[in-house]
Amino acid sequence: TTAAALERFTINFTITNLPYTSDLENPDSAKFRATRRVMNTLLDRLLQESSIGPVFQGCETRDLRYEPGSHRDETRVDAVCTYSKEPSAAPLDRVGLYHEVSNKTRGIPQLGPYSLDKDSLYVNG
């Protein structure tokens, strides 16, 4: 049998109650590291309870950024998540996963202590 391959997908969304500051630009800052740790934990918990839970490996927040043209009290989150895909398994159902994440975040407005922009969630682009 062929071993499962690690596959990646991205999750992007905007937090409306995390003001963007220059600390979030710097991956070495305490604020960036603390925010990334919380994001990774919340995303991991969310996806472990989803349909890909059994093969889900984890998420890593890569970027916290300011979206030009948006409010300064909003922060854009870019995360890369990994799962193991068996060669015989169907490709990742991005639409289905999007709907699961949307439902688990109560129609997108909430992820832990964070409020999300309901129109900002993207799974793999």
pLDDT tens for each residue of the chain, 125 residues long: 567 789 999 999 999 999 998 899 899 999 999 999 999 999 999 899 888 999 999 999 999 998 777 777 899 999 999 999 887 777 788 888 888 887 776 655 678 888 888 888 888 85
d(CA 95, CA 88): 20
Question: Per the structure block, which two tokens stand in for 57?
Answer: 């490996």
- What SS3 class is residue 28? coil
- What SS3 class is residue 8? strand
Q: For position 121, what pLDDT does the model report?
A: 86
Q: Could you give the residue ranges of the DSSP H alpha helices within the chain?
A: 30-48, 94-104
d(CA 5, CA 120): 29
Q: For position 106, what pLDDT does the model report?
A: 61
Contacts of 12 (CB under 8 A, 6+ apart): 76, 77, 78, 79, 120, 121, 122
Q: Domains in the chain, ordered, with CATH?
A: 5-124 (3.30.70.960)
Residue type, 121: L
Which of 14, 10, 5, 17 is CA-nearest to residue 73?
17
